[in-house]
Structure 1
Amino acid sequence: MFRPELVERTVDVLASLAGEGRAVEFGIGTGRIALPLAARGVPVAGIELSRAMAGRLRAKPGGEDMAVSIGDFADTRVPGTFSLAYLLFNTVMNLTTQEAQVACFRNAADHLSPGGCFVVEVMVPELRKIPAGQTVVHFAFGPRHWAWSDYDVATQAQVCHYVDVADGRGEHRTTPFRYVWPAELDLMAQLAGLRLRSRWQDWDGRPFTSDSAKHVSVWEKPAA
């Protein structure tokens, strides 16, 4: 996610969508995308749950004056209106209920001016990799690190497990998510008064297909 060419391409697309307007990032973190986007001349504000991450953002060149509202991006507001709101790298799945994900789309729509866009980058659930009767998909292997996802298809709950070994000791941590399908996101957008404008497989704009592992989707708020 930090590869310079990927960051540059992501910023290219977001800057084009923002146009002459302002952008707000849901889950701005330490500024991986916000800082280079602001450097392109797009005024950027953000929402971030972690005060520590927001502090790291503000300690970086260009981040000291960036407006960041501390809170949950499902319902936290940033003053003003924006031509672009965006939520990247699977972060929508950090909202672990459907209710919260729906609220996130409504919050994004409330931030947008007419004609503005909401962009989400998220994986496609890997359920086709799970044999009948099993729940686990491994996605990282190595002598000192491995990781897997445990899926509950009844609730769309996904728990990622990470194991790291250092100095002969192992550390296990877990992170909860709620996986979500493209069609479900389209319905959330519709409930928020947004309509699908584009969907690609990646930031290079390659077509989204049934074999795509993730998607970048753009919904727009109809012009008044």
Structure 2
Amino acid sequence: MIDHFGEAVAATYDRNSAERFEPELVASTVDVLAELAGAGRALELGIGTGRIALPLAARGVPVHGIELSTAMLARLRAKPGGAEIGVTVGDFASTRVAGEFALAYLVFNTIMNLTTQDAQVACFRAVADQLTPGGCFAVEVIVPELRKLPAGQTVLPFGLGPDRWARSDYNPATQAAPATTWTSRRARTGASRSISPCRRRIRYAEQAISVSSVHSQGRRQRAPRGPSC
């Protein structure tokens, strides 16, 4: 797995993803995860800067994270409560953590950072090995907007704003969906511009159902609706 979240991305990640930090959105996500975890432990794959892990831990759920980017991890550690959350540095497709978990979860399309079928299957296998009987693997992903693509077009814009815009490049055959974000900010000292490319891979509903069925082993599962990543 390639680390797409180095220092240049981590330094502005929370600011550039401000809409994902809206209190109502965070609270609703944490509500669902806290219910799924119950009295057990939770494992976040790609814990990042702690957007969900910190409020979930504040609810009393013991949270452990896996994170490849040391730059993102440094931002988590700098936040109140961040030093108390255990984190294992590594690729969440293959990294195992000691003990078992009632809940493992991926939020904000993180599963798409695994850019091959083998890596995504390995992720499900690793999670299955770490869940308690009856445990749950929750995955939050976008529904790829493939139906919006006219014949011959592969590019769709998203996240358009006065100082930030982005595009996804879809290849339905290979399932590659790299995204590129351009950011331009002006301050008293002048203009600041950045380009953040990110490799991603979508997953179709049939594939998600097949993989989750193979690795469920008595764990709870719910089939996705429509195309999923």
Q: TM-score, normalised by structure 2?
A: 0.82
1:164-188 CA-partner distances (Å, limit 9, x unpaired): 3345675433111001123311211
Work out which of the residue numbers 7, 14, 17 in structure 1 matches 2:36.
17
| Length, aligned pairs only | 205
Residue 56 of structure 1 and its aligned partner are, at CA, apart by 1.9
Q: Distance in 2 between matches of 1:61 and 1:165?
A: 29
Cα distance change on mapping 1:137 and 1:187 into 2, 3 Å:
same
Q: Distance in 2 between matches of 1:21 and 1:164?
A: 40
Distance 2:169 2:149 in 1: 10
Higher fraction of helix? 2
1:197 aligns with 2:221: yes
The answer to whether the Cα contact below 8 Å between 2:134 and 2:220 also exists between their aligned partners in 1 is no
Of residues 48, 57, 82, the one that matches 1:29 is: 48
Matched with 1:120 is 139
Q: Is the 8 A contact 1:124 1:180 kept in 2?
A: no
Aligned to 2:9: none
Match of 1:204 in 2: none
Counterparts of 2:177 and 2:31, CA distance in 1:
31
The structure 1 residue matched to 2:95, chosen from 76, 80, 91, is 76
Distance 1:77 1:18 in 2: 19
Change in CA separation of 1:15 and 1:199 when aligned onto 2, cut-off 3 Å: farther
Q: 2:64 aligned with 1:40, yes or no?
A: no
Matched with 2:12 is none
Deviation (angstroms), 1:62: 1.8
Matched, 1:165 2:189: no
Q: Which residue of structure 2 lines up, in the alignment, with residue 184 of structure 1?
A: 207
**Identity of aligned pairs, percent?**
58
CA distance in structure 2 between the aligned counterparts of 1:169 and 1:60, rounded to whole angstroms: 26
Contact 2:205 2:228 in 1 (8 A): no
Q: RMSD across aligned C-alpha pairs, in angstroms?
A: 2.1
CA contact (8 A) 1:89 1:122 kept: yes
The Cα offsets for residues 3-42 of structure 1, whole Å up to 9 and x where unpaired, read as 1011111111111111111101001111111111111111
Q: Decide whether aligned partners of structure 1 residues 38 and 165 sit closer, same or farther in structure 2, where only a CA change above 3 A counts.
A: closer
The whole-number CA distance in structure 1 between the counterparts of 2:56 and 2:161 is 34
Is the CA contact (8 Å cut-off) linking 1:186 and 1:196 kept in structure 2? Answer: no
Tell me, yes or no, if the aligned pair for 1:124 and 1:182 is still in contact at 8 Å: no
Q: Cα deviations across residues 59-88 of structure 1 (Å, max 9, x unaligned)? A: 222221211000010001111101000011
Which amino acid letter does the alignment assign opposite residue 37 of structure 1?
Answer: L
Cα distance in 2 for residues equivalent to 1:13 and 1:175:
28
- Name the structure where strand makes up a greater proportion of residues: 1
